[in-house]
Structure 1
Amino acid sequence: MPNFDDQIYAVLVQIPKGKVTTYGDVAKIAGFPRHARHVGKLLGRLPKESRLPWFRVVNGKGMISLKGARFIDQRELLLEDGVEVKENGAISLRRFKWDGDPA
């Protein structure tokens, strides 16, 4: 059976610059459907110096789920990446969602 963490990381590195995907879609693409919360927990444990594009993952409503300074960090990284993010953390999934095709 594939290692959950490694499978999630393998999906993360495929998300192209300027795109986002959801926790649920990361889990599904990695072969672990219905494990969105596990994806969120795993990303929350990444070291600060991680080079994985964790910030390209948002909730199923197209919103940044993080709070406080982490919200600001994710929003700034997405803006630098070319993703339009509203002040409240909303992102148009219709426009910016990655469909799972390798970059």
Structure 2
Amino acid sequence: ETRNETEGIFLYFTSQWKRHLYLSTKAFSTMPKLRMLNLNFSTFQECDLQHFPRKLKWLEWRACPLESLTWDGNLLDLVVLDLSHSKVKQIWNEKTLNMELRGPLHRGNM
């Protein structure tokens, strides 16, 4: 059994690379120690925030192509959320609106 000790990932793609990459958020479900995730300019063929680790503290996804990011309260330790220059119009659903936020939550310039 291998243990994934990854604590941070930084992805930055130019438009040239986007045409050739097919990313899935499923890979993040095997990284329980992931604390910082920078997905700037990344596009996912399959994007399910339920695959993001519960202990994630920093999520930066500038130019996120999605219009909605919702999750069922699994990101309770999230302190920084930067979605600047994104197409996101909705972040919370009914369950996450009622969750207690710990620490400052930065949404960037949406």
Greater relative contact order (Cα 8 A, min sep 6): structure 1 or 2? 1
Superposed pair shares fold, TM > 0.5: no
Bigger radius of gyration, 1 or 2?
2
Which category of TM-score, normalised to the shorter sequence, fits these structures? 0.3 to 0.5
| Greater per-residue strand proportion | 2
